[in-house]
Amino acid sequence: MDLVSDSRFATLHATGDHPESQARIVALHERFPFVGCAPAGEDDVLRCHTRELVERVRNTRGWLDADTICTETSFDAALLAAGAAIEAVRRNGFALARPPGHHAEPERPMGFCLFDTIAIAARWAQAVDGVGSVAILDWDVHHGNGTQAIVQGDDSILYVSLHQWPFYPGSGGPDEQGATLVNIPLAAGTGDAAYLQAFERAERAIAAFEPELLLVSAGFDAHADDPLAQLELSTGVFTELARRSSALAPRVAAVLEGGYNLATLPDLVAAALEGFDYAIVADEGA
């Protein structure tokens, strides 16, 4: 699994002391080599979002909601993040990108997210790369309401999410289920054993769907030391999650979502990369 990123993620979309800051990517770039990527095109974004949302992100300078800021370079960062996700699909890789994406709904940015990068990558894979069925597995601690809203009802894309509940953004409860929708809500305080038991349900659903491509919304904010949530996962469990995920489809790619403790984030990504069988590659993108 190649790592995909771009040095511009460390400067674009400057958010100051916001939890989702450039420092997240700086910490990862200091640890890992990566291959480069190009921005997504607006046509790629429009497979998932309205023209009105695209123009809002392009033109807003200030707060889009109580959590989500937009600056003069945020639009460029969001296109680049979507492009990193697409490049990860091309390479069966892992996109180290920001801002995260899984809260962005078709018509609304929210929860630190501007464009839904993993949904954009899924639609690109189907429209351009000849992929038929796609499963999206979301292990970020927050429910990916945006991804669910974009793909719900599409029988070619399965969405499976494990997340703390009740918790932000309030969706993903036990009654939100469908033929291609599996929500697995978990109580605050859930640790490794209970989480891995719940993960078996995700594995069964994905195996039954038999996707050609699995995309992982790889958030690391379910870790015990993350400041924004209350799940209690250890570092090592992310190796196991990645290892099990790698067995669920012939092609697997991942996209960084949450993870806000700068001291632990590089180790958590390294743990996941071990499970994804990461191979060191030449640094083409710095």
Contacts of 25 (CB under 8 A, 6+ apart): 5, 9, 10, 96, 97, 98
Query: Judging by beta carbons within 10 Å of its beta carbon (0-12, 13-18, 19+), is residue 26 exposed, middle or buried?
Result: middle
User: What are the E-state strand segments in 166-250?
Assistant: 181-186, 213-218
Total Cβ atoms within 10 A of residue 132: 10
Nearest CA to 112 among 97, 125, 124? 97
Rounded Cα distance between 76 and 252, Å, is: 26
18 part of the active site: no
Only one residue has tokens 């969405």, namely 159
Which one of the listed residues 49, 103, 143, 163 is annotated catalytic? Answer: 103
Q: Give the catalytic positions in this structure.
A: 103
